[in-house]
Structure 1
Amino acid sequence: MVDEVVRAIREMIVEGRVLPGERLSENALAAELGVSTTPVREAIALLRREGLVTVQPQSGTYVFELQPGELNQLCELRFALEPAAVQLAMEDPASTLAEALDTIVDNMRAAQDSGAVKRYLALDTTFHDTIIAASGNPYILSAYALIGAKMAALRNRLGDDPHHMEKSMREHVEIVEAIHERDLSRATHILVRHIARKEGSYWEHLDPEEMSSLSRLRKV
Structure 2
Amino acid sequence: MQNAKGVNRIARPKLLVDEVIRAIRGMIVEGRVLPGERLSENALANELGVSTTPVREAIALLRKEGLVTVQPQSGTYVFELQPGELEQLCELRFALEPAAIQLALDDPQSGLAASLATIVKKMETAHSENRVQDYLALDTEFHETIIAAANNPYITSAYALISAKMAALRNRLGRDPHHMKKSKREHIEIANAIRERDLSKATRVLVSHIARKEGSYWEHLDPDNPQRLLNFTDTR
What's the TM-score once normalised by structure 2's chain length?
0.90
Could you say which residue in structure 2 is the equivalent of 1:34? 49
Could you say which residue in structure 1 is the equivalent of 2:110? 95
1:203 aligns with 2:219: yes
Q: Which amino acid aligns with 1:156?
A: N
DSSP-derived class of the 2:201 partner: helix
DSSP-derived class of the 2:173 partner: coil
DSSP-derived class of the 1:62 partner: strand
Whether the 8 Å CA contact 1:193–1:217 is kept in 2: the answer is no
DSSP-derived class of the 2:227 partner: helix
Q: Cα distance 1:138–1:186, how it changes in 2: closer, same or farther (>3 A)? A: same
How far the C-alpha of 1:198 sits from its partner, in A, is 7.2
1:153 aligns with 2:179: no
DSSP-derived class of the 2:134 partner: helix
Aligned length: 219
How far the C-alpha of 1:218 sits from its partner, in A, is 4.1
Q: Which amino acid aligns with 1:119?
A: D
Q: Which amino acid aligns with 2:230?
A: S
Q: How does 1:50-199 map to 2 (within 5 A)?
A: 50-197=65-212
Give the stretch that moved more between structures: 88-97 or 159-168: 159-168
Q: Say which of 18, 23, 28 aligns to 1:3.
A: 18
How far the C-alpha of 1:105 sits from its partner, in A, is 0.2
How far the C-alpha of 1:205 sits from its partner, in A, is 2.5
Partner Cα separation in structure 2 for residue 198 and residue 84 of structure 1 = 23
Partner Cα separation in structure 2 for residue 114 and residue 17 of structure 1 = 22
Q: Which amino acid aligns with 1:91?
A: D
Give the stretch that moved more between structures: 27-36 or 157-166: 157-166
Whether the 8 Å CA contact 2:212–2:218 is kept in 1: the answer is no
Q: Cα distance 1:138–1:216, how it changes in 2: closer, same or farther (>3 A)? A: same
Partner Cα separation in structure 2 for residue 49 and residue 186 of structure 1 = 34
How far the C-alpha of 1:216 sits from its partner, in A, is 1.7
When you count helix as a share of all residues, which structure comes out higher?
1
Partner Cα separation in structure 1 for residue 203 and residue 193 of structure 2 = 9
How far the C-alpha of 1:214 sits from its partner, in A, is 1.1
Whether the 8 Å CA contact 2:25–2:62 is kept in 1: the answer is yes
Q: Deviation digits for residues 171-203 of structure 1, max 9, x if unmatched? A: 000001111111111110111000111794133
DSSP-derived class of the 1:54 partner: strand
Partner Cα separation in structure 1 for residue 89 and residue 202 of structure 2 = 20
Q: Cα distance 1:34–1:6, how it changes in 2: closer, same or farther (>3 A)? A: same
Gaps of 5+ in 2: 1-15
Partner Cα separation in structure 1 for residue 167 and residue 110 of structure 2 = 25
DSSP-derived class of the 1:169 partner: helix
DSSP-derived class of the 1:123 partner: helix
Could you say which residue in structure 1 is the equivalent of 2:10? none
DSSP-derived class of the 1:146 partner: helix
How far the C-alpha of 1:207 sits from its partner, in A, is 3.4
User: How large is the Cα RMSD of the aligned pairs?
Assistant: 1.3
Q: Cα distance 1:211–1:198, how it changes in 2: closer, same or farther (>3 A)? A: closer
Whether the 8 Å CA contact 2:20–2:55 is kept in 1: the answer is yes
How far the C-alpha of 1:159 sits from its partner, in A, is 4.5
1:22 aligns with 2:13: no
Structure 1 segments (4+ residues) deviating >6 Å: none
Gaps of 5+ in 1: none
What's the TM-score once normalised by structure 1's chain length?
0.97
Q: Which amino acid aligns with 2:83?
A: P
